[in-house]
Structure 1
Amino acid sequence: MSHNAIYTDLSGYYDLMCADIDYQAQSQCVQRVHQLFGNGGKRHLDLACGTGPHVRHFLDAGFQSSGLDINQPMLDLAHQRCPEASFSLQDMCGFRADQPLDLVTCFLYSIHYSGSVDRLRACIARVHAALVDGGVFCFNAVDKSQIDNSSFVSHTAHQDGAEFRFSSGWYYAGEGEQQRLRLRIERTDGGGIQLWKDEHPMVAVTFAQLIELLEPYFEVQVLEHDYQRLSAWGGVSGNVLVVGVKRSAL
């Protein structure tokens, strides 16, 4: 199974897979970040937007919000959720924006879908090109050196008489620039159990490497991964919220 196939084939289950995520809290947190560090503009693009739940919250907060993703079935669902928004089928490492942007987001660690350091660098450059001066790039990330290969998160959801159990966890072999996101979906109903497993190749970086990639383009702030309270990263936790404010000149 290709590393994006599970999202294409099971796009109808994606929202169940993410049912434990507080999209509103995440969106409101980044809106506060934009108020603190940004230019006050409302033109927003969500990279790897999936079915559009974050875009929905930004629209409801008065943003002119749009999204892009590489899976059309996900975008079809995003259009249903946010008919007033603009969505495009694009790779976030080579996208072009229709208009200058004030805010670019990338939630749910999706920045790691860049897959390699070179592609991550290209993504950062494309975001910089799309933003106006003072525009903000905000995303969350994980440090490869702090990944616990035995750690998984799981939750259960129900739909159409079936029970779904979703599990995911990071895996890093200890060297190189690639880590993996391991996914497991188990569906149980009267007919028995169905099981899907997949591994997504993701770019692996330390926070020091990530900051080094960003600093030619952005003034960088690293915050604790806490959507309820904004505070500077203490240098201990292995996942963070990264804020980049566009430098006006390279």
Structure 2
Amino acid sequence: MYEGTEAEIYDLVNEGRGKDYAGESRLVIDLIRTHRPDAASLLDVACGTGLHLGHFRTEFDRVAGLELSADMLDIARRRLPDVPFHLGDMRDFDLGDAKFDAVTCMFSSIGHMADVSELRAAMTCLARHTVPGGVAVIEPWWFPEAYHPGVAADVARTERRSVARVSHSSWHEGNTRMEVHYLVADADGGAHHFVETSIVSLFTRREYETAFDEASWTPTYVAGGPTGRGLFVGIRR
């Protein structure tokens, strides 16, 4: 997931879809400052190409990123060469003795945990890298009662590349099946099409809160958030 061409076009597609990284980052920073005004360090888990981190690093003295996709990390490292990035899985990563005042996980990446045991493992791993009293800001996927299958279509362009993204989401064994078709046209390489399919878990609010609690977090749910799916704010006990 998010390798090769998909990693290359990731920023262009999200720019075309109107994603507001600056506004999202400000919201997250304000939530962190509300609960820990003196926070000086932050780890962004599932950091992608580093666009949130580009804003976080202006606010915190020490930032780092963790990402499962090597190709996404390559882009992030080129964008932010002074920021340490780590290749790893949020369920079992180990940064040694490194601990942070805040951890973040945006863009509903937590929804890619396959079941509640993986969700709990991820929250435990985040807790292990957070100081007592530290803050986690996690953007969930939809709760089951709020999810509605549907379609979306977007087009993004630069001078030498055009990308059309068409998606279809549907119920699949109680979760979301997301099928995304990309048509990419490059001035030098011609046009090609590829498909990315993923399953995103529809955890209940209670399942999220239980995973937080069992991993030594005290959670609060904040409705709305950057995409309407809300945000969980956890305080490390």
Give the TM-score normalised by structure 1: 0.84
Q: Which amino acid aligns with 1:121?
A: R
Decide whether the 8 Å contact of 1:187 with 1:195 is kept in 2: yes
Matched with 1:157 is 156
- CA distance in 1: counterparts of 2:186 and 2:74, whole angstroms: 27
- CA distance in 1: counterparts of 2:152 and 2:217, whole angstroms: 32
Q: Which amino acid aligns with 2:195?
A: K
Q: Which amino acid aligns with 1:243?
A: V
Question: Does 1:185 find its partner at 2:182?
Answer: yes
- CA distance in 2: counterparts of 1:109 and 1:131, whole angstroms: 20
RMSD: 2.2
Decide whether the 8 Å contact of 1:45 with 1:105 is kept in 2: yes
Change (3 A) 1:62 1:38: closer
Decide whether the 8 Å contact of 1:147 with 1:172 is kept in 2: no
Matched with 1:234 is none
The Cα offsets for residues 186-216 of structure 1, whole Å up to 9 and x where unpaired, read as 2246787532221112232111221122123
Compare 163-172 and 16-25 and name the one that shifted more.
163-172
Superposed counterparts of 1:129-140, under 5 Å: 129-140=128-139
SS in 2 for 1:164: strand
Q: Which amino acid aligns with 1:76?
A: D
Matched with 2:234 is 244
Unaligned runs of 5+ in 2: none
Q: Percent identity?
A: 24
- CA distance in 2: counterparts of 1:62 and 1:125, whole angstroms: 23
Of 71, 76, 87, 1:89 maps to 87
Question: Does 1:101 find its partner at 2:100?
Answer: yes
Q: Which amino acid aligns with 1:186?
A: L
Question: Does 1:72 find its partner at 2:53?
Answer: no
SS in 2 for 1:194: strand
Matched with 1:233 is none
The Cα offsets for residues 119-148 of structure 1, whole Å up to 9 and x where unpaired, read as 111000111111111111111112133221
Count residues with an aligned counterpart. 231
SS in 1 for 2:135: strand
SS in 2 for 1:91: coil
Change (3 A) 1:174 1:73: closer
Unaligned runs of 5+ in 1: 229-236
Give the TM-score normalised by structure 2: 0.88
